[in-house]
């Protein structure tokens, strides 16, 4: 009688894996992921305000400047005839900016129509003379004041600053500027714009003339 030997079984022990470095790092908080940008400096605010000064001019004046200056200056190549014409054009556009500061508008509570007029010492002189008595609005409260002249002068300065940044105007009057003249042309519009921005901030206007947005008044 023979004895059969039993097979021997070996147990395999599992070795735990060491933790990975990503498991040991704590999750980042949302505040550390989003970095807050630094507040803009005073110089950046001034430059941003100067760049947005064109929004303070009448829309029609800016459109005329952009459309007519390439034609009057022959794309910046002025001669003895187009040079004076360009100067006259810029003078008329500057005058329109000054006069537009004295225009005002209101929405009539009677019929809901918008009426435009020119501010005088007696009140608002409406362009539509037939509506002087049927608007339901006291026109004497729109009388001209000192702030209108300040706003008109500031509008002219803004227009000069915008016109001096136009390449066709610069090429017309200064085709080959020297180094000193080029430095003045680069700095002067910025200085004029900052002065105009200061005047608009100190002497704000409530008028909504031709080329400006209209608000309803009672």
pLDDT in tens, 116-156: 889 999 888 888 766 656 677 778 888 898 888 988 888 89
135 lies in a domain?
no
Query: Which pLDDT score is estimated for 85?
Result: 93
The domain of 158 spans 55-102+144-202
Q: Answer yes or no: are the C-beta atoms of 167 and 189 closer than 8 Å.
A: no
93 lies in a domain?
yes
Please, which pLDDT band fits residue 95 given cuts at 50, 70 and 90?
very high
The least confident of 21-30, 54-63, 98-107, 193-202 is 21-30
Could you tell me which of 99, 25, 34, 111 has the C-alpha nearest to residue 61?
99
Could you tell me which of 115, 117, 121 has the C-alpha nearest to residue 136?
115
Query: Which pLDDT score is estimated for 129?
Result: 67
Residue 9 has pLDDT above 50, yes or no: no
72 lies in a domain?
yes
12 lies in a domain?
no
Q: Answer yes or no: are the C-beta atoms of 123 and 148 closer than 8 Å.
A: no
Work out the average pLDDT over 80-100. Answer: 92
The Cα–Cα gap between 172 and 73 comes to 6
Query: Which pLDDT score is estimated for 213?
Result: 58
Q: Token pair for residue 33? A: 């992921």
124 lies in a domain?
no
Other CB atoms within a 10 A radius of the CB of residue 180 amount to 8
CA angle 145, 106, 112 (to 5 degrees): 165
40 lies in a domain?
no
Residue 73 has pLDDT above 80, yes or no: yes
Over its C-alpha atoms, the chain yields an Rg (Å, rounded) of 35
33 lies in a domain?
no
Say which residues have a Cβ less than 8 Å from residue 83's Cβ, sequence separation at least 6.
172, 173
Query: Which pLDDT score is estimated for 217?
Result: 47
Could you tell me which of 207, 208, 189 has the C-alpha nearest to residue 197?
189
Please, which pLDDT band fits residue 1 given cuts at 50, 70 and 90?
very low
24-55 confidence digits (pLDDT tens)? 455 555 444 555 656 555 445 444 554 556 66
- What's the domain count of the chain? 1
The least confident of 2-16, 64-78, 105-119, 191-205 is 2-16
The Cα–Cα gap between 135 and 42 comes to 46
116 lies in a domain?
no
Q: Token pair for residue 179? A: 């180094």
Q: Phi/psi of residue 93, each to 5°?
A: -65, -40
């Amino acid at each position: 009688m023979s004895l059969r030997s039993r097979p021997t079984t070996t147990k395999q022990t599992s070795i735990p894996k060491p933790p990975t470095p990503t498991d040991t790092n704590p999750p980042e908080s949302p505040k550390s992921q989003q970095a807050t940008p630094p507040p803009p400096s005073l110089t950046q605010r001034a430059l941003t305000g100067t760049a947005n000064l064109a929004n303070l001019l009448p829309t029609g004046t800016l459109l005329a400047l952009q459309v007519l200056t390439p034609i009057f200056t022959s794309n910046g190549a002025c001669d003895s005839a187009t040079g004076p014409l360009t100067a006259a054009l810029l003078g008329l556009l500057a005058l329109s900016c000054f006069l537009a500061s004295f225009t005002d508008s209101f929405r009539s509570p009677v019929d809901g129509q918008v009426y435009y007029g020119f501010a005088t010492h007696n009140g608002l002189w409406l362009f539509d003379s037939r509506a002087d008595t049927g608007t339901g609005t006291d026109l004497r409260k729109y009388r001209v004041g000192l702030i209108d002249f300040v706003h008109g002068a500031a509008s002219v300065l803004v227009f000069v600053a915008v016109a001096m940044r136009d390449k066709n105007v610069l090429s017309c009057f200064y085709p080959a500027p020297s180094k000193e003249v080029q430095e003045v042309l680069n700095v002067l519009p910025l200085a004029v714009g900052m002065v105009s921005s200061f005047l608009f901030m100190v002497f704000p206007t409530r008028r909504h003339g031709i080329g400006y947005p209209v608000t309803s008044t009672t």
